[in-house]
Structure 1
């Protein structure tokens, strides 16, 4: 998982969601009423999906696994638990059907004493505060209780994801070294294409883990000399890359228009 920046709701979305929420309230604020209103709310769902797709990492990736395409609008806190949050913009994330329907479903663990949710919301939390990715084997370890619960509920260590992250690690290392060689020989256009392609790849958490390792004083020991130099150069040029690749900063005017 990586952070995603939540965009502000449009005025139209606010109006649509407020109207539907009021209908749920008048119908008794039950989960049945919430499900009925959600099923009928095509205009609101279209607006929500459009904004979530602008927020999505890579090429419309699931905000939980970062592998599959995000196909579902997930209610982070299930509507069966809080019907009046069914149309709350801050309660929506983009998920693949496997993460949403096969793993997370209605699960929403909370701390027994504080009531705090024990799942990582990538639009509100930095997953790195709670998760450690062992990048060379593609496995997550939980640093906190929230991290451990998120691994369990989202199925973050299922076999296909671990294998996919390992493949992404190999690919990312190769592309970073290739990108650096292009930079060194002055092929900035080619380097920009490589950077854009790498940022569009699934498993953006792998690239973020490599960036984290590249900031460590023992980066060369962890990554090897060539890759450590490539990652160091990548980190040094991050602001330039953000301006030249096809993935603008989420939340910028360009991102809103994309």
Structure 2
């Protein structure tokens, strides 16, 4: 999971969302009505999905696992928990069918004060709550929010860990290649490699590497060539949200 910049929507589309919400807001406890209105709003769903695909990392990757293609619109706050957020733009995320239907479903864990315990990557940096071990591809929680996020989205699924570990190997190789092409003056080839890094699945792997590239120990971990490449492309490959 990486930070994402939520796109603004124009007044016309916001008006469409508001109109779709009106009957639900008039009957705020009616979950069945909200589900029915959502099911019938085909053109709204189509346009929402297009906006979410433009927000997503890579080639329309799932905003939770970062591996699969995002095929579903997930309600971060489930309709069952709060029907009034059914058409709220800030409540929509692009998810793969596995993360949406097999993992998250209607789960919405909260702490004792009622605050949600899931990381919202459009309002906070997941790195605050999650730590990725690059060699193994495993996540560990830094906070209770991180723990709940790993559990609800199934971020420790073995296939995801294996995919992240392999992505780490590929990223290192591509970064070395990019540096070689850049320094040899083959800018066209270097640009192709950089474009491939931008659309690479498991964007969280590259994002974690970029986070750690400025640390004094980075050359010992990544090697001098990879560290140099990371420092040069910082803020270029993942412009979806600023790194600290």
TM-score by length of 1: 0.89
Q: Quote the Cα distance in structure 2 between the aligned partners of 1:24 and 1:174.
A: 52
8 Å Cα contact 1:13/1:48 also seen in 2 = no
Select between 189-198 and 225-234 the one with higher mean Cα deviation.
Answer: 225-234
Partner of 1:155: 154
1:206 corresponds to 2:175: no
Q: Quote the Cα distance in structure 2 between the aligned partners of 1:209 and 1:85.
A: 32
1:196-241 deviation per Cα after TM superposition (whole angstroms, max 9, x unaligned):
1011010001111111221111111112233223323333xx45x6
- 1:19-30 alignment, distance < 5 Å: 19-27=19-27, 29-30=29-30
Against the structure 1 CA distance between its residues 82 and 178, is the aligned structure 2 distance closer, same or farther, given a 3 Å change threshold? same
* TM-aligned CA deviation for residue 11 of structure 1: 2.2
Partner of 2:67: 67
3-state SS, counterpart of residue 94 of structure 1: strand
- 1:94-113 alignment, distance < 5 Å: 94-112=94-112
TM-score by length of 2: 0.94
Partner of 1:232: 231
Against the structure 1 CA distance between its residues 174 and 28, is the aligned structure 2 distance closer, same or farther, given a 3 Å change threshold? closer
Q: Quote the Cα distance in structure 2 between the aligned partners of 1:7 and 1:229.
A: 31
* TM-aligned CA deviation for residue 27 of structure 1: 4.7
- 1:36-185 alignment, distance < 5 Å: 36-112=36-112, 114-185=113-184
RMSD: 1.6
1:119-169 deviation per Cα after TM superposition (whole angstroms, max 9, x unaligned):
011111110111111011101111011011000000001001000001100
Q: Quote the Cα distance in structure 2 between the aligned partners of 1:77 and 1:28.
A: 14
8 Å Cα contact 1:180/1:233 also seen in 2 = no
Against the structure 1 CA distance between its residues 16 and 176, is the aligned structure 2 distance closer, same or farther, given a 3 Å change threshold? same
* TM-aligned CA deviation for residue 5 of structure 1: 0.4
Partner of 2:215: 216
Select between 132-141 and 8-17 the one with higher mean Cα deviation.
Answer: 8-17
Against the structure 1 CA distance between its residues 176 and 34, is the aligned structure 2 distance closer, same or farther, given a 3 Å change threshold? same
1:21-57 deviation per Cα after TM superposition (whole angstroms, max 9, x unaligned):
1112345641000000000011211221111111011
* TM-aligned CA deviation for residue 17 of structure 1: 1.3
| Structure 2 gap ranges (5+) | none
Q: Quote the Cα distance in structure 2 between the aligned partners of 1:103 and 1:47.
A: 25
Q: Quote the Cα distance in structure 2 between the aligned partners of 1:5 and 1:65.
A: 17
Against the structure 1 CA distance between its residues 121 and 227, is the aligned structure 2 distance closer, same or farther, given a 3 Å change threshold? same
Q: Quote the Cα distance in structure 2 between the aligned partners of 1:53 and 1:230.
A: 28
Against the structure 1 CA distance between its residues 234 and 25, is the aligned structure 2 distance closer, same or farther, given a 3 Å change threshold? closer
